[in-house]
Structure 1
Amino acid sequence: MKKAKKLLGLLTAVSLCIPTLCYADNPIVQTVYTADPAPMVLGDTLYLYTSHDEDVTENNFYTMKNWKCYSTTDMQNWTDHGTVLGYTDFSWAKGDAWAWQVVERNGKFYAYVPLTQKNGAYAIGVAVSDSPTGPFVDPLGKPLATKSGSQDIDPTCFIDDDGQAYLYWGNGNLYMVKLNPDMISYSGTVQTLTKPDGYIEGPWVYKLNNLYYLVYAGWNNGGENLQYATSNSPTGPWTARGAIMGARNSFTNHPGVARFKGNDYLFYHTGDLPGGGSYKRSVCVEQFKYTSDGRIPNIPMTKSGPAQIKYLNPFVKTEAETFAWGQGVETEVCGEGGMAVSFIENGDYLKINGVDFGTGATSFEARASSATSGGNIEIRLDSPTGTLVGTCAVKGTGAWQTYTDVSCSVSGATGVHDLYLKFTGGDGYLFNLNYWKFNGTPTQPTVKYGDIDGSDSIDAIDFAKIKQYLLGTANLTDEQLKAADVDGSGTVDAIDFALLKQYLLRMIDKFPAEV
């Protein structure tokens, strides 16, 4: 059902928007306030789990009732998977859906969450799903772990190379337990680790080149910044390495670090969306590079965010809730499955970054609904007022969840452009948008043989990936399989493995598939 009015923060965004903010891509979510980012890489997709600051702040404090999920394959356009878990999914909790993390193990997904129990004490809970986008279910019916009752927040999970999983958490102190293989129980007692200098909360633990990293929220001039420490052991002792990022328009900051397709990223939050602040935060991301000795440099906050790592193909069905920037719009659960872009008014638009139209798009089709008289989708290139290459009319369908197909011809869309779907019409809400697709001639992708991870280089990571695939311990996507088939035989086998090894040893400088 349509709401009576748009979210207060988004109304502010429409009326007070400044160009440098609207045309940038940080924060990466504009339809709601998000915080506490937790990335998870699964194959060729990066999933981002966030907490959710409500639009109406209660008691001048963090008002957070559920958790969100987003995903990307190009680090510019993000798909909104909606609310995937809430505090009401835990029978023993009464609120405070704060910073969480999801990890994958053996095909299942484990969400570690902080919650306020009905007795008023904080505790760490766990929920499990067969899908990275939920639904998640509490398997215990009670908290998984607790230590102090007042500092039990901000859980993070790390699985070491030997398979041992560690759960860390804590505000003021750093707590840890070794999880059992089932990931929903532990043996022994909760340990209080010696925290590194400056540690406040928000731990994030990972391992790189046999070195353990602990990134966390520290203290700096009356607010939080991001700092990190390293260790030769997952339990410490930790050596503080200093600050890597400050905070902006928010008392807190919260880190999440991921390596995706050969690139390293730091996720964080600010109060940068219009109407934002300490209780209305927004998730952002930056790309960075480690120094030669493994240190994390100081990472500046930007409006543009990281570079796009691959272009979007417009000739396949694209969910409308996949975009780099959504101006004035919201999202809601779609009656046909998934999410839809909704609350669309005259002048709103979606920006989809880096769309490759190849030699030309000839037509556009979409799935839309309207309980009013509808409106138009103006298809523009490179800005909301850029070249108009088509206009698609959407008529009323009688209800917001009654969808129909609409289409129109397109002329002048060739090569790579940022795509703007600008919505025009009368007063009030115009229509909902489920998905869209162009027809035409796509650019044929170029296969870089041997570059299995898509990092644009052929190295030990690619060798490890083909080895894992042949051993049956990992899967490869269709694109990865093409890159791994270095002999051009149509299958990936021991011959490809041997050829890749020869290439890395410089015994050959070209693969048979390239001849």
Structure 2
Amino acid sequence: MRSRRRVAWLVSLLCVITVFQPAAAKADNPIVQTIYTADPAPLVHDGTVYLYTGHDEDGSTNFTMRDWRVYSSSDMVNWTDHGSPLSLETFAWASTNAWAGHVTERNGRFYWYVPVTNRATGRMAIGVAVADNPTGPFEDALGRPLVENGEIDPNVLVDDDGQAYLYWGNPNLWYVRLNADMVSFSGSPTQIPLTTTGFGARQGNPDRPTLYEEAPWVYQRGGLYYMVFAAECCSEFIAYSTAPGPTGPWTYRGTIMPRQGSSFTNHPGVIDFNGGSYFFYHNGALPGGGGFTRSVAVEEFEYNADGSFPTITMTDAGAPQVGTLDPYARQQAETIAWASGVETEPSGEGGMNVGWIENGDWIRVNGAAFGAGASSLDVRVASATSGGTIEVRLDSANGPLVGTCDVPGTGGWQSWVTVSCPVSGATQTHDVYFRYTGGSGNLFNINWWQFSD
């Protein structure tokens, strides 16, 4: 029998009230509702945002993390789940602690720098995995640590002149110049002086006199170098410093995100995408969430005229949608703006599928541009039971019903068939709710869907 993980059940409880609220009440933060995610590392590549995260295990009472996850979006609200292309098992030399990593692209390859515990030494070390695709699969590039000094939270900057820098550290802050191959370095790691001028003053802790705690995020914008970091545990806030060059000297600039969000840690990620600027972070916003069960979220923001950050606060609304979603292109079922009750899993047809669907569960996708109107819907489904029904509704989970697809039993959870149903009344641009109904227990799986005009 299939068993549902706890987080999906809790999120379904969170959404009971939402079902009966108007569309204006919808939330898009946290980005992922099917599992707990942490430590966001966004990357813009080829018109798409790839979001790399850690994964907090359900019910964790420590930083119990065994793998990393990848999501992608072209509109900042509908996120596609690409599963876990990297885990502790990727590194034969690692034992525990799949903590906060960072991905960068160079020469068509993608490098994922992660902190893990070295089995041989028992210390935290930085490993690097490589892939030819932003969603993997990733392989250990070295078969050993890239650097090891017991500290964590790697971040990479590739400067305009082509020189790459690896930054990391807690309780200290380090950098090293990476070679062009991105998996070796020149010289020795350099410790960045943690001065109060550079990183602000912490009160009452002579061992850590500055605000710098962990999670450096370094980038260059308009000739100015920014180091955004988690400050002064616990609980942490997000602060930043700037410098004229990638190695400093750094000047403390103040708070970006105050202490908030039901998690005693935080972790920044900053990108520009399609004309907007976005700030990623994590909190404990999902049911059961907290310091060891975190969730990644995002806010859009504008820099001040002088290049400084505004104060950014956490919201449940999230970032606005960039453009629309094309319902006439094949869309993966695991492309989700908000989900109630369901989970995802690897599909026998490749990629991921949505599963653990029970009566009353639903998925929302935002901003589907139907234009003059859709006439039918194809859905790829599988069921080891007697199946159920997919209701297609607009703008809320109990909104106008524009189509109903019957899902038969197919003889297995990975025995896939395509079902079709007529659609009427889906015109212009709407949020689409796929609401699932049927008997008790798990009903069916969904791999993809596609409307026709």
TM bucket (normalised to shorter chain) is: over 0.9
Aligned identity (percent) is 55
Tell me, in whole angstroms, the C-alpha distance in 2 between the residues paired with 1:18 and 1:223. Answer: 31
Superposed displacement of residue 23, structure 1:
3.0
> Partner letter of residue 98 of structure 2?
A
Aligned equivalent of 1:189: 188
Aligned equivalent of 2:12: 14
| Larger Rg computed on CA atoms | 1
Matched, 1:205 2:221: no
Q: CA deviation digits over 1:91-124, x for unaligned, max 9?
A: 1110100000111000000000000111210100
Aligned CA RMSD, in angstroms, stands at 1.2
Matched, 1:402 2:415: yes
Aligned equivalent of 1:99: 100
Tell me, in whole angstroms, the C-alpha distance in 2 between the residues paired with 1:90 and 1:256. Answer: 25
Tell me, in whole angstroms, the C-alpha distance in 1 between the residues paired with 2:305 and 2:364. Answer: 37
Tell me, in whole angstroms, the C-alpha distance in 2 between the residues paired with 1:20 and 1:375. Answer: 23
Structure showing greater relative contact order (alpha-carbon pairs closer than 8 Å, 6 or more residues apart):
2
Aligned equivalent of 1:430: 443
Matched, 1:36 2:13: no
Tell me, in whole angstroms, the C-alpha distance in 2 between the residues paired with 1:407 and 1:297. Answer: 49
> Partner letter of residue 239 of structure 1?
T
SS at match of 1:27: coil
Superposed displacement of residue 15, structure 1:
3.0
Superposed displacement of residue 331, structure 1:
0.3
Please say if residues 168 and 177 of structure 1, whose CA atoms lie closer than 8 Å, have aligned partners that are also in contact: yes
Superposed displacement of residue 402, structure 1:
0.4
SS at match of 1:95: coil
Tell me, in whole angstroms, the C-alpha distance in 2 between the residues paired with 1:430 and 1:284. Answer: 30
> Partner letter of residue 436 of structure 1?
W
Tell me, in whole angstroms, the C-alpha distance in 2 between the residues paired with 1:300 and 1:391. Answer: 40
Superposed displacement of residue 20, structure 1:
6.0
Tell me, in whole angstroms, the C-alpha distance in 2 between the residues paired with 1:75 and 1:161. Answer: 27
> Partner letter of residue 425 of structure 1?
G
The size of the alignment, in residue pairs, is 432
Please say if residues 10 and 274 of structure 1, whose CA atoms lie closer than 8 Å, have aligned partners that are also in contact: no
> Partner letter of residue 255 of structure 2?
A
Segments of 5+ residues of structure 2 without an aligned counterpart are 20-24, 201-210
SS at match of 2:376: strand
Tell me, in whole angstroms, the C-alpha distance in 2 between the residues paired with 1:140 and 1:14. Answer: 42
Matched, 1:263 2:240: no
Name which of 25, 28, 46 aligns with 2:28.
Answer: 25
Aligned equivalent of 1:239: 251
Segments of 5+ residues of structure 1 without an aligned counterpart are 441-515
Tell me, in whole angstroms, the C-alpha distance in 1 between the residues paired with 2:192 and 2:72. Answer: 33
Superposed displacement of residue 237, structure 1:
1.4
Aligned equivalent of 1:64: 65
Name which of 126, 129, 136 aligns with 2:128.
Answer: 126
Superposed displacement of residue 326, structure 1:
1.0
> Partner letter of residue 417 of structure 1?
H
SS at match of 1:15: helix
Q: CA deviation digits over 1:6-43, x for unaligned, max 9?
A: 11122222235464699311000001000000000001
Please say if residues 371 and 396 of structure 1, whose CA atoms lie closer than 8 Å, have aligned partners that are also in contact: yes
Matched, 1:154 2:153: yes
Tell me, in whole angstroms, the C-alpha distance in 2 between the residues paired with 1:12 and 1:359. Answer: 38
Aligned equivalent of 1:445: none
Name which of 333, 348, 351 aligns with 2:346.
Answer: 333
Name which of 237, 252, 256 aligns with 1:225.
Answer: 237
Normalized against structure 2, the TM-score is what? 0.94
Please say if residues 176 and 189 of structure 2, whose CA atoms lie closer than 8 Å, have aligned partners that are also in contact: yes
Greater helix share, structure number: 1
Tell me, in whole angstroms, the C-alpha distance in 2 between the residues paired with 1:225 and 1:392. Answer: 47
Please say if residues 226 and 241 of structure 2, whose CA atoms lie closer than 8 Å, have aligned partners that are also in contact: yes
Tell me, in whole angstroms, the C-alpha distance in 2 between the residues paired with 1:285 and 1:18. Answer: 24
Aligned equivalent of 1:348: 361
Please say if residues 394 and 406 of structure 1, whose CA atoms lie closer than 8 Å, have aligned partners that are also in contact: yes
SS at match of 1:223: coil
Q: CA deviation digits over 1:174-226, x for unaligned, max 9?
A: 11000000000001101100232211000000000000000000026x41010
Tell me, in whole angstroms, the C-alpha distance in 1 between the residues paired with 2:39 and 2:441. Answer: 34
Tell me, in whole angstroms, the C-alpha distance in 1 between the residues paired with 2:432 and 2:418. Answer: 20
Aligned equivalent of 1:489: none
Tell me, in whole angstroms, the C-alpha distance in 2 between the residues paired with 1:99 and 1:368. Answer: 35
Superposed displacement of residue 264, structure 1:
0.4
Range with greater deviation from structure 2 (399-408 or 299-308): 299-308
Q: CA deviation digits over 1:331-388, x for unaligned, max 9?
A: 0001011100000000000100001110000011110000000000000000000000
Tell me, in whole angstroms, the C-alpha distance in 2 between the residues paired with 1:16 and 1:415. Answer: 29
SS at match of 1:10: helix
Please say if residues 194 and 238 of structure 1, whose CA atoms lie closer than 8 Å, have aligned partners that are also in contact: no
SS at match of 2:117: strand
Aligned equivalent of 1:314: 327
Superposed displacement of residue 125, structure 1:
0.5
Tell me, in whole angstroms, the C-alpha distance in 2 between the residues paired with 1:251 and 1:326. Answer: 26
Please say if residues 158 and 165 of structure 1, whose CA atoms lie closer than 8 Å, have aligned partners that are also in contact: yes
Please say if residues 376 and 394 of structure 1, whose CA atoms lie closer than 8 Å, have aligned partners that are also in contact: yes
Tell me, in whole angstroms, the C-alpha distance in 1 between the residues paired with 2:14 and 2:239. Answer: 33
